[in-house]
């Protein structure tokens, strides 16, 4: 048994020491907890008194802070009302020309937009066999029908803009330029289904053949 480290007679000095130690431990942990509480995020900074997109609001009757656009509003981008680009028409008749030259980049953009917005119903080939149709949606006509092959491009622009029968308008989600690009891509789809080998440029054909091997 070891003795002598603690003064054997007067234990008073150790007592306050221990109490102080204990007190210090309590104080330290309290300080830590308080420091943590202090570090807690200031709620006024994390939730500032401003609306974030689509945040609910009790102020308006419909419960939304986002206000609907007033009927008849014309977007600043689309202020050139009445032109071919925005109506798809020339002199009140559906146009059969594009309002701007379609480049390869436009075509790629059209393809991308078509696959996002149209292919779920019309199918990637435009045959009207999209996934949603297979689940019971009304089947749209195939783009490869004679009537639609002969339809002016303005018709496709018009259908995207205003909807058609059971199909809703996509004007809110696709801007005018992209609508034309989609129309151009539909034209390409129509060509693709009735294309002959002779229609393909020689270098592309060679590429396709070597890919096939």
Partner 1 sequence: MPQIFHSSANTIAKASIFGVVFLVGAIAWVAGSVQRSPYVTGQGEVRDQPVPFSHEHHVRGLGIDCRYCHTSVESSSFAGLPPTQTCMTCHSQIWTNAQILEPVRQSFATGKPLRWNRVHNLPNFVYFNHSIHIAKGVGCATCHGQVDRMPLMWQHASLQMNWCLQCHRDPEKFLRPRSEVFNMNWQPPTPEHPDVAHGNATSQLELGKYLVKEYGVRKDQITNCSVCHR
SS3 185: helix
Q: Which is nearer to partner 1, 8 or 101 (CB)?
A: 8
1 binds partner 1, rule: CB under 8 A? yes
Contact 122, 128 (CB under 8 A): yes
Q: Which of 135, 146, 147, 209 binds partner 1 (CB under 8 A)?
A: 135
Q: Which of 2, 41, 196, 213 binds ligand HEC (CB under 6 A)?
A: 41
Of the candidates 50, 38, 198, 181, the one whose C-alpha atom is nearest the C-alpha of residue 108 is 181
**DSSP assignment of 5-36, as one string?**
SS-SS--TTHHHHHHHHHHHHHHHHHHHHHHH
Minimum CB distance to ligand HEC, residue 189 (Å): 10
Q: Which of 50, 79, 135, 146 binds ligand HEC (CB under 6 A)?
A: 135
- Rounded to 5°, the CA angle 188-192-196 comes to 130
Contact 161, 179 (CB under 8 A): yes
62 binds partner 1, rule: CB under 8 A? yes
Q: Which is nearer to ligand HEC, 102 or 118 (CB)?
A: 118
Stretch that binds ligand HEC, among 8-16, 24-32, 66-74, 161-169 (CB under 6 A): 161-169
118 binds ligand HEC, rule: CB under 6 A? yes
Residue 141: name its binding partner from partner 1, ligand HEC, none (Cβ under 5 to 8 Å by kind).
Answer: ligand HEC
Q: Cα separation of 185 and 179, whole Å?
A: 10
């Amino acid at each position: 048994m070891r003795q002598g480290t603690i003064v054997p007679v007067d234990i008073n000095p150790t007592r306050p020491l221990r109490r102080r130690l204990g007190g210090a431990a309590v104080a330290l942990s309290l300080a830590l907890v308080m420091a943590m509480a202090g570090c807690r995020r200031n709620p006024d900074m994390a939730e500032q008194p401003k609306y974030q997109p689509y945040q609910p609001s009790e102020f308006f009757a419909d419960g939304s802070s986002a206000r609907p656009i007033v009927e008849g509003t014309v977007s600043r981008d689309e202020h050139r009302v009445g032109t071919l680009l925005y109506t798809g028409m020339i002199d009140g008749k559906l146009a059969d020309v594009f309002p701007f030259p379609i480049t390869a980049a436009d075509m790629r953009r059209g393809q991308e937009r078509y696959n996002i917005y149209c292919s779920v119903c019309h199918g990637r080939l435009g045959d009207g066999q999209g996934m949603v149709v297979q689940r019971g949606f009304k089947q749209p006509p195939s783009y490869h029908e004679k009537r639609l092959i002969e339809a002016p491009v303005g018709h496709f622009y018009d259908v995207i803009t205003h909807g058609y029968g059971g199909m809703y308008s996509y004007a809110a989600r696709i801007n005018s330029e992209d609508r034309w690009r989609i129309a151009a891509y539909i034209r390409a789809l129509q060509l693709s289904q009735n294309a002959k080998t002779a229609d393909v440029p020689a270098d592309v054909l060679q590429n396709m053949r070597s890919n096939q091997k």
